[in-house]
Amino acid sequence: MLYIHIDADAFFASVEQCLHRELRGKPIVTGRDGSIGVALSYEAKALGVQRALPIHLVRKQFPTVQMVVSDYYMYKVYSDRMIRIIQEHIPQISRKSIDECSANISDLCKTIEEAESLSSEIQNELEQKLLCTFSFGISTSPLLAKMASGMNKPHGITSIDPAKDREYYKKTISAVPGLGWKISHKLFEMRIMTIGSFIEFYPGVQKHFSIVTDDIHHQLLGGTPLRIDQHNLQKSMNKSRSFKVSENYSEVFGQLVVNFEHLMRKLRAEDFTCKSIHVGIKNADGHHQGESLLLPMHTRDTALIMEHMQILFSDLFDGKRGCRYVSLTFSGLRPNGGVQEDFFSEHEVHQGSEELFEAVDDINQKFGEAIVTLASTLSRPKRLGSHIDPKKNPITLRHKLLPYETENRRVKYPYLGKVD
């Protein structure tokens, strides 16, 4: 078997450098509309900037770094275009995240050399059409292919043949994707610190771990994934927002409702219901607090969840202390088909509401997520702002709209600049 893994290099930052040609070759950090750096260009990484560093510290410690407002719509446009280009070569490609995808290419390539040739062809086309760089990993297991894609960034094509290569045995065990901090720490305590020692000694300590770790060990040896029958459906989903400090109840609640709308769309799209909700807020002084509440039943009824969310928020919000961050979590998720009808069949009462919001989802999908929204969001500031004065620290905004574009209706192809 042969697998390929494709990973865009510094994807969000690279897209911004495409949208703003004046930023090419310069250190940039996206996330200027929030409180932390979200993505870094390679130039920013070279200066020592770290991901998730608070924006005010980036400004203070790295004054030459350009802060950029995140444009997630355009990141999705570039991601979709990336997938379409790759599908012309590998029809069965599977998206793993907004900037990663992988596939079993055994039917297309019989040898690693053929896979490297295919990777080079796709890499050149991607970089020519999107002006972003991409790194490729090739191996006999999906796990090793993913590891290989990160070994020679940016613009790398790396293959691992476990029958011949042993260089990856020297890597620390914490570098293995999917292993997790807890398992890595447990292995460290057993003096198993590298991939090589994990491969050698894991059979002796296998009883202390799960079948998931067995699969990782199997794939590190170059084997195909084990068939793991695990009913580990997604248990929760979360959405958070940072913004300029506000003491206004309606403004802050409007920010929370934006999170609410996002999660409700996900519930409907994935056909889930939830059993509990958690609201968290962070005051101006950085103090974080939160509360949870069980719902009467597994549901995704908009009015019911909104009512309980407002109860939690009202208990937490203190206008005198100000607020700069809100988060919302839906927990106890399960498929909608598994919901038992209540005795009085009250779920039928909400059917009309469900159909209405599904229609709203379709409209937003077609014209932009913010075109139809709950009235509660209208009280929030139109821009998230920041605790840093933009007059003192100018920011790079999203690229100018093209003719006939609006903020809620954008073209669905990458913007690559003007042609002189």
Query: What's the mean pLDDT when you consider all of the chain?
Result: 81
Give me the sign of the Cα torsion angle 66, 72, 74, 76: positive
Nearest to 295, CA basis, from 267, 256, 324, 325: 267
Question: In this predicted structure, what is the pLDDT of residue 366?
Answer: 53
Q: Which of 22, 43, 88, 100 is catalytic?
A: 100
Nearest to 258, CA basis, from 364, 162, 130, 172: 364
Residues 6+ apart with CB under 8 A from 28: 13, 16, 17, 40, 41, 43, 44, 65, 66, 67, 68, 396
Q: Does domain 236-379 have CATH number 3.40.30.10?
A: no
Query: Each residue of 27-59: pLDDT tens digit?
Result: 999 876 666 788 899 999 999 998 878 888 888
Residue 100 annotated among the catalytic residues of the structure? yes
Q: Residues 225-228: contacts with CB within 8 Å, 24+ apart?
A: 225/141, 225/142, 225/143
Three-class SS state of 283: strand
Name beta bridge partners: 409: 406
State both tokens at 276: 């509990």
Name which CATH class applies to 1-162+388-420: alpha beta
pLDDT band at 18 (very low <50, low <70, confident <90, very high): confident
Is residue 356 predicted with pLDDT exceeding 80? no
Dihedral pair phi/psi, residue 107, rounded to 5°: -75, -20
Cβ atoms of residues 290 and 280 within 8 Å: yes
Query: Each residue of 64-122: pLDDT tens digit?
Result: 998 888 887 788 889 989 999 999 999 999 988 889 999 999 999 999 999 999 999 99
Nearest to 177, CA basis, from 151, 131, 137, 146: 146
Question: In this predicted structure, what is the pLDDT of residue 229?
Answer: 47
The full set of domain ranges for the chain reads 1-162+388-420, 163-221, 236-379
Same topology for domains 1-162+388-420 and 236-379, yes or no?
no
pLDDT band at 359 (very low <50, low <70, confident <90, very high): low
Longest distance between any two alpha carbons in the chain, whole Å: 68
State both tokens at 157: 């094509």
